[in-house]
A and B are shown apart, each in its own frame.
Chain A
Amino acid sequence: MSLELNDTLQAVVDGLSSEYSDKLIEVYQSSDDTFVRVETDSIVEICTYLKEKQHFVFLCDVFGNDRYTSDERFEVVYNLMNLRTQTRLFLKARVEEENPVIDSVTSIWKAAGWNEREVYDMFGIRFEGHPDLRRIFMPEDFEYFPMRKEFPLLGIPGSIELPNTTPDTE
Chain B
Amino acid sequence: MKLQNINDKVDPQFQELHQRSIYKSLEDKHTTIEDVDIDDPLNAKMILNMGPQHPATHGVLRLVLQLRGETIEKTKLDIGYLHRGVEKIAENKTYQEFMPYTDRMDYLSPYSNNVALCMAVEKIANVEVPDRAQYIRMIGCELARISSHLLWLGTMVMDAGAISFFIWTFREREKIYDIMDQIAGHRFTVSHSRIGGVANDLTEDATAIIKEFVNSFPKELKDWHGLLDRNRIFIDRNENVGVLETKDALDLGATGPVLRASGYAVDQRIIAPYLKYSEVDFEIPTRMEGDNLARYFVRMEELHESIRIIKQCLDKIPTGSIRSNNAKHAYPSKDEVYYSMEGMIHDFMMTDTGICPPEGAECYHAVESPKGELGYYIQSDGTGHPWRIKINTPSFRNLQVLENILDGEMVADTVVVIGGVDPVMGEADK
Contacts and interface: CB of A to CB of B under 8 A. Distances in A.
Contact of B253 (A32, A110, A132): A110
Contacts of B83: 137-138
A136 B82 CA distance: 12
Interface in B304-340: none
A79 B14 contact: no
A147 B390 CA distance: 11
Contact of A163 (B14, B18, B28): B14
Interface string A106-124: 0001111110001000100
A132 B25 contact: yes
Interface in A86-143: 86, 88, 90, 109-114, 118, 122, 132, 134-141
Given A60-B392, A138-B83, A161 B21 contact: no
A35 interface: yes
Interface stretch (A11-19, A41-49, A61-69): A61-69
Contact of A79 (B85, B361, B364): B364
Contacts of A30: 360-363
A110 B379 CA distance: 27
A111 B21 contact: no
Interface residues of A, number: 42
Contacts of B364: 33, 79, 88, 90
Tell me if A's interface is mostly helix, strand, loop or mixed: loop
Given A31-B361, A79-B375, A110-B253, A65 B16 contact: no
Interface in A15-60: 30-33, 35, 57-60
B87 interface: yes
B80 A138 contact: yes
A3 interface: no
A32 B123 contact: yes
A136 B79 CA distance: 7
A90 B365 CA distance: 12
A136 B377 CA distance: 20
Contacts of A139: 15, 17-18, 80
A90 B362 CA distance: 11
A159 B312 CA distance: 53
A5 interface: no
Contacts of A65: 379, 388, 390
A134 B19 CA distance: 12
B392 A61 contact: yes
A83 B88 CA distance: 32
B375 A35 contact: no
Interface in A145-170: 146-147, 151, 153, 161, 163
B356 to A, nearest CB: 14
Contact of B397 (A35, A77, A86, A111): A111
B373 interface: yes
Contact of A134 (B21, B379, B388, B397): B21
A107 B159 CA distance: 35
Contacts of A109: 251, 253
Contacts of A137: 79-80, 83, 429-430
Given A33-B364, A110-B252, 12 more contacts: A83-B264, A86-B272, A110-B253, A114-B397, A118-B396, A132-B29, A136-B80, A140-B21, A140-B22, A147-B87, A151-B88, A153-B89
Interface of B: 14-18, 20-22, 25, 28-29, 79-80, 83, 85, 87-89, 92, 123-124, 126, 250-253, 264, 266, 271-272, 360-364, 366, 373, 375, 377, 379, 388, 390, 392, 396-397, 399-400, 404, 429-430
5 contacts: A88-B364, A110-B252, A137-B430, A141-B15, A153-B92
Q: Which 6 A-B pairs have the closest CB atoms?
A: A111-B253, A31-B363, A137-B80, A139-B18, A140-B18, A137-B83
